[in-house]
Structure 1
Amino acid sequence: MLKRITKKKSLLLTAAVLAAMSVPAYAAEKKPEDGKAIKTGAVVVTASRTEQEVKETPSTVEVITREDIDKMGAESVAQALQLAIGMDIQENAMVGNRVSIRGMETNQTLILIDGRRVRTEDTGSTMNFYEFERINIDDVERIEIVRGAASSLYGSEALGGVINIIRKRPDEQKTSVTLDWTTRRKDAGIRFDAGKHGNWNIAASFKVSDYRERGTDDKSNMYGKKYFFNIEGRMDVAKDKWLDVFADYLIEDQYMKGIIIRKNKPTIYHGRDYDHTRLSTGVKYAGRDKRGNYEMQVYYTRFHKDQNQRNRANHDLLGFDDMTFNSLIFDGRRSMQLSKDHLLTFGGEYREESYDSTRLTGNGSMSREGVVSPFGKRSVNYAALYVQDEWLLNPDWLLIPSVRWDYSSSFGSKVTGKLGTTYKINKDLRFKANIGTAYRAPTASELYLDWDGMPGGERVKLWFHGNPNLKPETSLNFDVGLEMEKDKTFGKITYFHNKVHDLIYGYSQFQYMPPPMRSINHIFYDNETDVTLQGLEFEVKQSLGSGFNARGLYTYLDARNDKDIRLTGRPYHKASLQLSYEDQKNGWDATLWNDWIADYYYAEAVGRRTIYKNAAISILNLVVNKKINDRFSAYFGIDNLLDTYNDNLGYDGRIWRGGVNVTF
């Protein structure tokens, strides 16, 4: 009898473990929902590289639609993500934003545009920080956010999750003009959609963003212009077969003031010039047949950064940085319906990345206006294969295993996997769970950096040193959750747990020097042992009737290293209460929301000591839209309505904003 009970418990435990492990899901036919009810039927393509309904996919997914973007009056991707759950998009000190999901670092989130990798800076303090300001929001159709480990499908960087920015591909001919103005910047853009002409559908866009120069006490003091150019097209090769082409060009012409505080008085000088260009272009062949979908693509990116530092008195050149990031990527995938219960997806990727820079270990020299700087070149090659099965065990239970093999010329091979499940407890209630491994490869800068900074500092110099012996960061991630929707109510609660090994971090060693130089702060990279991030995400939506809807979000995050010490730059508590109103008959909609951050843990230097503190803040925001007719709409918004300041959390007062959109 005891043996029977033990065996029964073992079988139940095995079933529970299988149910608690998960990955992405499948697309199912659903009946249209009542317009007055909460809608959860959006389709996503990022979670499993196949089309799935959000309610069906095991992954924790959120979709920011074009309708959401317009209602926010968003002039950037960062603005569009303000109402997302569990994300930290705190403003960076040089006109950029953190990209943190569930407390992970910014460089542990993978950013994609139409499923393509973005070639960006590669240090821990710059990777992904500026990307949300480098995308023309006028071209964006929707933004898909996948939380949790995703390396089994996407490879390196996807420890915290994936953000896939999907651009418009309309079929009708139209021209749209957008004008945005805020107390921080002004934008003007035009987009032309040619519509379908023969076998071709072509669209082109141009936009200029002008960031304003701010006050002397403002740490975010990078200003100047950005220019966005995009052209893309689709040619129908044959029935259910098409060819996509695209070319993007970005120009950043910006400046950053230098500020020195002497006797409590700021001294301003012209600091650094930032002249950046990025060209991305590629071609994709895709189609579908009776077995499923397929695609193959190749795309190339060249990102050049030219930075100069000038003397604050006479503007003589003191130092310069010249950096060129190149990437060439081939990838492809195939989805096949093996049976009515199995959808198999497999694919591969080959990637060549190179980095030429004055910041790397030098093998030559460059000169400019009599200033000489060492110049180095490094490259890393990657290859990968992956496979995934979307297995419908029965009408109520979906199981998705996936596995990926990656090879890097810098560290060798890495295998990651994920298992996800969605189980329908009843027609209104679902159980979801995922478990997976992920990794982040050390970048060329972390491996080979040798940069003593631009000269001209106040007797202190930073000197960064790479470490060619760095190991990849790895993680084990799992989450379990419940989702429910019934008529006018939707609710979701998720517990997540992420254990990160060999976290790459920088540490300092001071070298004291004779006058006039006071010291050199040498910064080295190494692998830290373990970091654990865990917490809860809670979301509830309620239709209140008469055009009113309410949404509440709450995230609890506990992030600690292996010595049980809290990680800085993260709050224990983050909450948001959002009230929206829509009057379709008269063309009005409005959103009022309040964000709360509590127990935000940060470090502050006081003399030679470091003091750890907690910060809290409450921020109220408002945006109102008016659709005047089918061709003209306008919005007005106030961020930080109560004019709250907090340097540690990146809030420095009220922001007025407004804009118009005209379609011809």
Structure 2
Amino acid sequence: MCHGIMNNLRYVPIGTFLLCVGSVSASEVTDEVMVVTATSYQTKASTAPASVSVVTQEDLALMPYNNLADALTTTPGVHIADLGQGRKGIEIRGMDVSQSLILIDGRRVSRASDLLGHSNIELQNIPVSDIERIEVIKGPMSALYGSDALGGVVNVITKPTTNEWQGSVRGGGSTVIDESGNTANIEVNTSGAIIEDKLYLKVSAGHAYQGLIKSRNHEHETDIAGNRNTFVDAELKSILTEKQELDLFVRVGENETWYDYIPTSGDGEGLKTRSTNVFDTLDYGVTHSGYWDFADTQLRIYGSRVSQTNEKNVGTPNTANDVDEDVIDGYAQFYAHDAHHVTVGGQCSEQRLKSADLTSGKDSADQAALFLQDDISLNQQLSLLLGVRYDDHSDFGSHVSPRAYLVYAPSDNWTLKGGYGEGFKAPTIKQLSPEYLSVGTGRPFDIRGNEDLEPEVNKSYEVSAEYRSSQWGSTLTLFQNDVENLIDVSCVEGCSGRPQPGKTIYEYFNINQAEIKGLEWAGHVALSPAFDVNMNLTLLDATDKDTGKTIDSKPESQAYLALNWHATDQLITQVSMRYTGEQTYEDNDLPSYQVFDLAANYKLSDIDFSMGVSNVFDTYLADKSEHFTYAIQPRQVYLNGTLRF
């Protein structure tokens, strides 16, 4: 296998009404966004064989975002889960954070955080000033992308490099009203041709700071951890011939996070303790692209090295960990008999963990795969995508993941879609190791592995209808995930009272059968040339079929509403509301809450400013229920500026 190669539903009428109105009269369709993630080649977002949401630069201009999670807070079907002390993860359609595959220009980012307590370092080292758009594919994409795509895929598309040298400087920050926790960020990006039409270079560097935010109700404890992140990356593109390109990529980063707590037992009992974790990361990649007469080809070798260390001012530091990953993948794409757009390829990956917590001191897992995809044009209005992937895992053997998706576009305004897909994900090294305790990464509890875990399998169905015109658009999607052996966590030690690192122990276990079904609706309306409204709604029902209980930490509803005012050609303002519905946690019902934001963007030819107030009414979850184990960002005033040159 790879080891040798690597070597080392009450709201339904709203969406239905808006969809049905479109059948009365059709109007001119606006220019459409093109996407690549659904098929691995460029296609229209509306007719892509998948549920696709796209976050554009215009969307990002009205967000106080400093990482990928911040940029997806308003995307339908996406829940930004809290992993403890303010660290975030991306959940798609009720699936877990580890089941969302993150890509940058189609390249998988490190999943080392799965072995380091969901530290979310994979969301930090992304140059936000270099983002062209973000494509979110909802539903299992394992047939094309393999493991980790059980819930969906997030692909960050960066800006292309041209012959002309250009660059930008982005900087700013925020201040939290009446308490500590200010933020600051700066990022520099430049790109251009070293040799015109032959050799291109792109370099980015950034630094971001988040001050620690103390708990309002528990002295000497932390609501949101302090965080400091620095990275530098470089990409080199060489045009070898008219038909061949070679790309080199490297990124180095350091992420530091710190939080306070008071141990209630063991080492340092009763003393204020500050735990500081440092993650040193190295990512690399080499890509060869060929554009031949018979096919387009791509071969990539890439990977990452992540080292985690811990320090405490009281007591014994947590064990250091090293996670290495290497991946080789490639594909060939070609047309067969004009109507068939065929993609065939394979992937080989290996992940290695070194930790003193493991009996042997280290462990590894590798996986190999072959996949085939055929996008068939049945006629001008109807297409059918068929795909299948064969995986062979070092611990769990072989598995086949099929996919079928039908797209029907009877007119320029209407698109109807539907399909079935499966996803497969084996437990990680950490999840399978009962002697390995995931500690000290910003959560209020520790997690222990379970050697009896089985791989997760998601069998997913969806159907959607979309209407779009120059004045308004609406999309309604129904989906259902039937998940076998869904991996969850349950408290097994120190479960009474507030969770405490080093005392409260959770353990992984399989939910034999889980059903996660729901509805997504998104719409936009141009009220006038100056005013438009964006809105979306997600309803979710996540149930453990064995017990009949609702699965924890899955909000039953989410909604977003924003009114945009295009005051001038340069100035856009926005008032918005984000709503999170009721959810359960440890047999406790958590109430719904909403967050209101104000934002503005002022753009000139070479510079633009984003400013606003987030969480205007300073929503604090602990005031709504003592059972919330996390906090959201308090009210803050922010200002960011970008200078382009």
Is the TM-score greater than 0.5?
Answer: yes
Shift of 1:74: 2.7
Letter of the aligned partner of 2:167 in structure 1?
A: T
Contact 2:439 2:446 in 1 (8 A): no
Alignment partners' CA distance in 1, 2:256 and 2:556 = 38
Identity fraction in percent = 24
Contact 2:427 2:455 in 1 (8 A): yes
Q: Aligned with 2:319: secondary structure?
A: strand
Q: Does 1:646 align with 2:621?
A: yes
Q: Does 1:578 align with 2:555?
A: no
Alignment partners' CA distance in 2, 1:546 and 1:215 = 45
Contact 2:29 2:412 in 1 (8 A): no
Letter of the aligned partner of 2:260 in structure 1?
A: K
Q: Aligned with 2:61: secondary structure?
A: helix
What is the match of residue 635 of structure 1? 610
What is the match of residue 206 of structure 1? 205
Alignment partners' CA distance in 2, 1:125 and 1:613 = 29
What is the match of residue 276 of structure 1? 279
Aligned residues: 589
Letter of the aligned partner of 2:84 in structure 1?
A: A
Q: Does 1:624 align with 2:600?
A: yes
Shift of 1:134: 3.4
Letter of the aligned partner of 1:181 in structure 2?
A: G
Q: Aligned with 2:149: secondary structure?
A: coil
Q: Deviations over 1:132-160 (max 9, x none)?
A: 23322122222110000111011112121
Alignment partners' CA distance in 1, 2:405 and 2:466 = 15
Contact 2:615 2:636 in 1 (8 A): yes
Contact 2:68 2:124 in 1 (8 A): yes
Alignment partners' CA distance in 1, 2:113 and 2:67 = 22
Q: Does 1:566 align with 2:566?
A: no
What is the match of residue 293 of structure 1? 296
Structure 1 residues 48 and 522: CA distance shift in structure 2, 3 A = same
What is the match of residue 485 of structure 2? 502
The one of 554, 571, 575 equivalent to 1:592 is: 575
Contact 2:189 2:204 in 1 (8 A): yes
Shift of 1:521: 6.2
The one of 53, 59, 64 equivalent to 1:68 is: 59
What is the match of residue 660 of structure 1? 641
Structure 1: gaps of 5 or more residues? 1-33, 312-316, 364-375, 456-460, 513-518, 604-610
The one of 515, 528, 548 equivalent to 1:545 is: 528
Q: Does 1:99 align with 2:90?
A: yes
Q: Does 1:180 align with 2:172?
A: yes
* Pairing 1:418-567 to 2, within 5 Å after superposition: 418-451=403-436, 465-510=448-493, 523-562=506-545, 563-567=547-551
Shift of 1:404: 0.3
Letter of the aligned partner of 2:550 in structure 1?
A: R
Structure 1 residues 414 and 453: CA distance shift in structure 2, 3 A = closer
The structure whose Rg is larger is: 1
More divergent stretch after superposition (495-504 vs 78-87): 78-87
Shift of 1:257: 1.7
* Pairing 1:308-457 to 2, within 5 Å after superposition: 308-311=311-314, 317-360=315-358, 362-363=359-360, 376-451=361-436
Alignment partners' CA distance in 2, 1:220 and 1:239 = 55
The one of 37, 49, 66 equivalent to 1:46 is: 37
Contact 2:212 2:222 in 1 (8 A): no
Alignment partners' CA distance in 2, 1:577 and 1:230 = 36
Q: Aligned with 2:591: secondary structure?
A: strand
Contact 1:96 1:132 in 2 (8 A): no
Shift of 1:631: 1.6
What is the match of residue 516 of structure 1? none
Alignment partners' CA distance in 1, 2:212 and 2:64 = 23
Structure 1 residues 511 and 303: CA distance shift in structure 2, 3 A = closer
Contact 2:100 2:154 in 1 (8 A): yes
* Pairing 1:94-133 to 2, within 5 Å after superposition: 94-121=85-112, 123=114, 126-127=117-118, 129-133=120-124
Shift of 1:583: 4.8
Contact 1:451 1:463 in 2 (8 A): no
Shift of 1:406: 0.6
Structure 1 residues 136 and 462: CA distance shift in structure 2, 3 A = closer
Letter of the aligned partner of 2:619 in structure 1?
A: T
Q: Deviations over 1:358-388 (max 9, x none)?
A: 232x23xxxxxxxxxxxx1001111110000
Contact 1:450 1:464 in 2 (8 A): no
Letter of the aligned partner of 2:632 in structure 1?
A: Y
Alignment partners' CA distance in 2, 1:626 and 1:42 = 23
More divergent stretch after superposition (424-433 vs 531-540): 424-433
Q: Does 1:601 align with 2:590?
A: no
Structure 1 residues 48 and 412: CA distance shift in structure 2, 3 A = same
Alignment partners' CA distance in 2, 1:643 and 1:510 = 34
Contact 1:535 1:558 in 2 (8 A): yes
Shift of 1:661: 1.1
What is the match of residue 231 of structure 2? 228
Contact 1:73 1:625 in 2 (8 A): no
Shift of 1:637: 1.4
Letter of the aligned partner of 2:345 in structure 1?
A: G
Alignment partners' CA distance in 1, 2:390 and 2:471 = 44
What is the match of residue 195 of structure 2? 197
Shift of 1:632: 1.7
Structure 1 residues 643 and 173: CA distance shift in structure 2, 3 A = same
Contact 2:54 2:133 in 1 (8 A): yes
Shift of 1:399: 0.1
TM-score (norm 1): 0.84
Alignment partners' CA distance in 2, 1:128 and 1:549 = 38
What is the match of residue 18 of structure 2? none
Shift of 1:503: 1.5
Q: Aligned with 2:581: secondary structure?
A: strand
Q: Deviations over 1:165-195 (max 9, x none)?
A: 1222231312311112013410012112134
Letter of the aligned partner of 2:513 in structure 1?
A: D
Q: Aligned with 2:582: secondary structure?
A: strand
Q: Aligned with 1:359: secondary structure?
A: coil
Shift of 1:289: 2.9
Structure 2: gaps of 5 or more residues? 1-25, 176-181, 496-501, 623-627
Q: Aligned with 1:504: secondary structure?
A: strand
Q: Aligned with 2:62: secondary structure?
A: helix
Q: Does 1:159 align with 2:156?
A: no
Structure 1 residues 185 and 428: CA distance shift in structure 2, 3 A = same
Q: Aligned with 1:425: secondary structure?
A: coil
Q: Aligned with 1:89: secondary structure?
A: strand
Shift of 1:122: 5.0
Q: Deviations over 1:608-664 (max 9, x none)?
A: xxx52131112111110112x322211211111122211437335312111111122
Structure 1 residues 349 and 294: CA distance shift in structure 2, 3 A = same
Contact 2:115 2:429 in 1 (8 A): no
Q: Deviations over 1:532-558 (max 9, x none)?
A: 000111111111222321112111111
What is the match of residue 3 of structure 2? none
Letter of the aligned partner of 1:645 in structure 2?
A: Y
More divergent stretch after superposition (613-622 vs 551-560): 613-622
Contact 1:259 1:267 in 2 (8 A): yes
Structure 1 residues 405 and 634: CA distance shift in structure 2, 3 A = same
Structure 1 residues 220 and 93: CA distance shift in structure 2, 3 A = farther
Letter of the aligned partner of 1:437 in structure 2?
A: E
Structure 1 residues 94 and 195: CA distance shift in structure 2, 3 A = farther
Contact 2:614 2:637 in 1 (8 A): yes
More strand by share: 1
Q: Aligned with 1:559: secondary structure?
A: strand
Q: Aligned with 1:540: secondary structure?
A: strand
